[in-house]
Structure 1
Amino acid sequence: MNTSTQISLVATSFVVGVSLIEACWLTWKNRRTDTPFQWYEVWLSLVDMIGRKLLAFLPLSLAAPVFAFAWAHRIHTVTLDSVLTLLLLFVGQEFCYYWYHRASHRIRFFWATHAVHHSPNQLTLSSAYRLGWTAKLTGSAVFFTPLVWLGVRPEVVLAVLSLNLLYQFWLHTTWVPKLGWLEYVINTPSSHRVHHASNTAYLDANFGGVLIVFDRLFGTYVEERKEEPCRYGLTTPMTSANPLVVELSQWVYIARDLKSARSLRTALGYLLLPPGWRPDGSGDTTEALRQRAKAGEAVV
């Protein structure tokens, strides 16, 4: 067993073990409330993780040839031999992650995979490792290609991305309060609760990985407010406990819409425009939901 495999095994064991401890604690804590802990959400996340581990053995990746091309035509070869270089790599990776994550919410083709991560109707540590089975097939890693083209080895880019995702594990909690001035700099559980909320006011916000500064810079930061508690899950809640439904339902919806498309423009819209888009304007995009909410408030 090589070193990277050992590290992955230890990290996976830690993540799963801590999430199960939290699940047991939340089960006890919520035993007399109206919102008992839902263990099936944990099992769905575990099935998702196992599925991704198995699919990793298949040589199917749209990003791999893109990375190979970018590396072959790189403009430099980066050596990680200084603190400054490591810092620049960290910031560059965060920048790419922000746009990858934002695109995963705003482009339906990528959302079909990312929606799996947002499908839990309760936010717990186990939600962190429900990431969807089809990421390699959609090639979402191509958003990190600029780093490879600049001269960072592809395996280093993917390793840094893995560290980014590992950091985000602790963000999937409802019991960690706001963290004062840190809310202005790093991604915190409070910021990430907003990201996972399906409240209309909270949609499409807080896309950062470790940092929250790019959200503040590009206008996608939304603060968690006591007067509007987060409601977790998709805008149309996932009610099935069938892993295949959870993993593939968004793709089924896309296939249905593509079948009904009457033009290439409409078909491309179903793939590349935001989730909920309809050619007649009757869809449930974030913008449409907010307009309706605003209209309702005006009537009241």
Structure 2
Amino acid sequence: MDFTNPLVYGVPCFIAFILLELTYSKTHGHDELYVWKDLMASGAMGIGSAILGPLLKVTVLIVVFEFTYELFNPIVDGVRTNIMGYKSFGYAWYVWLLCQLADDFTYYWFHRANHEIRILWAAHIVHHSSDNFNLGTAVRNGWFTLLYKPFFYMWMPAIGFPVEMVIVCLAIESLWQFQLHSQYVPKMGWIEKIFNTHTMHQVHHSQNVEYLDKNHGGFLNIFDKIFGTWKELDDDIEVKFGVIHAPNSYNPIVILTHEFKDIWADVKKAKKFSHKLMYIFGPPGWSPDGSTLTVKQQQRLFREHKSQNPEAAFSRPN
């Protein structure tokens, strides 16, 4: 069995858990958890990813990883040796653990880049575009991220991790991410100190200003804590899921492309070349005149407003 394509081989499990959560929500008075049109849109994009995934895995991921591995780890005197002079990694159990840790570190920066670089956000916003947070949302993945994700991970085969090991670790990461998209799992005590959990991922999918661009981690939360993007779910804050500038459509094509369309509109109206570049590669919400705000600008205003009016509700800027 090929373990390197979890979206395909995990499909029966994904469907089973989605149906289980759906049934539980409808039989326990949580009708708002699943919206049928929204679930169908998520399912359509999940099916598209399942179809495109195997094709791109061969043409992009494996080719890129194999080329990188062979280039940086040639066989010297019959031994696979990294160009930095040490023997390339084998398959010892501790190497697997190191590879999984390296994968999680890479996932953190890949995920964070998707939120902080607008052209990447245009591909990733698909996953955040639903106003619902459930296991159906977990399969609501953008198709374009499949094109560039492997390039974030090239350093791993370059330093000597075997290609198949890297791909299996990517698969494990994907499986962990799927199950995080449930509201039925409460806070988990000491586990929360180490792992990225369901409540932490609710923060990540929130459009509340104080929660924006938080908790990018994969299965660990250590990198969020180290790099200042970790935030715990506050039971006193009512979470609003989704994105501020939503596509307002259940059409999969609109959901997949609406942010690219907005980028193009901004680029066309920009008078300076530097502004055009910022609209593409700058943070989402950037504008030269402050007519739209980045997440950091919104959060700075939020903190200022809260310090001046601690009891007042904050009106989110557009």
- The TM-score normalised by the length of structure 2 is 0.85
Deviation at 1:172, TM superposition (A): 0.6
Cα distance change of structure 1 residues 158 and 253 upon mapping to structure 2, 3 Å threshold: farther
Give the aligned partner of residue 52 of structure 1. Answer: 49
Pairing partner for 2:206 from 197, 201, 208: 197
Pairing partner for 1:176 from 185, 197, 200: 185
Distance in 2, Cα, partners of 1:107 & 1:91: 24
Deviation at 1:141, TM superposition (A): 2.3
Cα distance change of structure 1 residues 291 and 52 upon mapping to structure 2, 3 Å threshold: same
Identity %: 31
Give the aligned partner of residue 77 of structure 2. Answer: none
Give the aligned partner of residue 35 of structure 2. Answer: 38
Distance in 2, Cα, partners of 1:122 & 1:284: 24
Q: Which runs of 4+ in 1 moved over 3 A?
A: 2-10, 56-69, 77-80, 153-156, 294-297
- Alpha-carbon deviations, 1:86-136, whole Å to 9, x = none? 111111111111111111111111111111111111100111111111113
Pairing partner for 2:140 from 111, 130, 144: 130
Q: Which amino acid aligns with 1:21?
A: L
Distance in 1, Cα, partners of 2:128 & 2:175: 17
Give the aligned partner of residue 23 of structure 1. Answer: 22
Q: Which amino acid aligns with 2:144?
A: T
Partner SS for 1:192: helix
Where does 1:30-109 land on structure 2 (aligned, <5 Å)? 30=29, 35=32, 37-56=34-53, 58=55, 66-75=64-73, 76=82, 78-109=88-119
- The TM-score normalised by the length of structure 1 is 0.90
Deviation at 1:26, TM superposition (A): 1.1
Cα distance change of structure 1 residues 57 and 178 upon mapping to structure 2, 3 Å threshold: closer
Distance in 1, Cα, partners of 2:165 & 2:4: 15
Cα distance change of structure 1 residues 44 and 124 upon mapping to structure 2, 3 Å threshold: same
Q: List runs of 5+ in structure 2 lacking aligned partners.
A: 74-81, 313-318
Q: Which moved more, 1:65-74 or 1:192-201?
A: 65-74
Deviation at 1:293, TM superposition (A): 2.4
Give the aligned partner of residue 225 of structure 1. Answer: 234
Q: Which has the larger radius of gyration?
A: 2
8 Å CA contact 1:148–1:154 kept in 2: the answer is: yes
